[in-house]
């Protein structure tokens, strides 16, 4: 079965720019003044796919009712072109920036066709004086599929929480959609240091329709500042 002539019934988004997508009613963006904002990190130059599941765009909070839904992220608009990064086999997205002594970074991430109990990707932070800290994204623990279907559907509910959904009352395998917020807690790792790089890594076994990490947005807790953080990126 299919939603329409171009979208699979599973609800999976195409991971190729320019491919047709099943567009749901978009959520309205919240005015910036009303949002407890994070400082956004722009990766638009490295976005490699169009992802439109009706999510809000621009400066927005979530709608899930979870604590992390109050966080304000800046999401790229799929109507303007590529707005997400999708990682294939061993792909990396490397973001270069300069942030003094960060303690918390938040990302909006899920997977396409996630796999349970194994790493569906990782995020590595690097800084001055060889400072570094990494996070593995384990299926059904610290990352899950964006689509509520037969793939990965569980998260820990603490460091990873549902941020937005197009169905606040989902039933098992109903194929509703969600975006999750991840707290990547750096703690005191970068105390007295400067964060210079964030790298998102896809597993070597990732491929089309199999265990692809998907990045929607990045935000740094910058002590209440919502000023965009200057950054450059390289995708391989």
What is the C-alpha to C-alpha distance for residues 49 and 212, in angstroms, rounded to an integer? Answer: 12
pLDDT of residue 236: 93
Please give the pLDDT value at position 190. 97
Structure confidence at residue 36 (pLDDT): 60
Q: Which residues of 152-172 are buried (b: 16+ CB within 10 A; e: fewer)?
A: bbebeeeebbbbbbbeeebee
Local mean pLDDT, 10-residue blocks, the chain (236 residues): 26 36 36 64 97 94 95 96 96 97 97 96 98 98 95 96 92 90 97 97 94 97 89 96
CATH of domain 32-235: 2.60.120
pLDDT recorded at residue 5: 26
pLDDT (0 to 100) of residue 23 = 32
List the domain boundaries for the chain: 32-235
Q: How many CB atoms lie within 10 A of CB 66?
A: 18
pTM of the complete model: 0.84
Closest CA to 143 of 156, 133, 132: 156
Contact (CB, 8 A) for 109 and 213: yes
């Amino acid at each position: 079965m299919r939603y329409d002539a171009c979208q699979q019934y599973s609800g999976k988004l195409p991971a190729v720019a320019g491919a047709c997508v099943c567009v749901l009613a978009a959520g309205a963006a919240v005015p910036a003044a009303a949002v407890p904002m994070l400082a956004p990190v722009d990766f638009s130059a490295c976005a490699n796919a169009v992802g439109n599941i009706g999510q809000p765009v621009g400066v927005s909070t979530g709608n899930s009712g979870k604590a992390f839904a109050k966080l304000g992220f800046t999401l790229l608009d799929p109507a303007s072109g590529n707005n997400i990064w999708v990682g294939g086999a061993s792909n990396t997205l490397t973001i270069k920036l300069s942030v003094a002594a960060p303690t918390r970074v938040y990302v909006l991430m899920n997977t396409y066709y996630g796999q349970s109990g194994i790493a569906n990707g990782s995020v590595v932070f690097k800084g001055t004086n060889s400072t570094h800290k990494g996070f593995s994204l384990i299926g059904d623990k610290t990352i899950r599929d964006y689509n509520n279907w037969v793939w990965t559907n569980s998260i820990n509910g603490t460091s990873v929480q549902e941020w937005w959904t197009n169905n606040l009352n989902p039933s098992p395998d109903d194929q509703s959609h969600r975006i999750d917020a991840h707290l990547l807690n750096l703690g005191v790792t970068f105390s007295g240091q400067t964060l210079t790089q964030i790298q998102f890594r896809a597993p070597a076994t990732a491929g089309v329709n199999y265990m692809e990490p998907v990045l929607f947005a990045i935000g740094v807790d910058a002590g209440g500042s919502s000023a965009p953080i200057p950054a450059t990126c390289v995708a391989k």
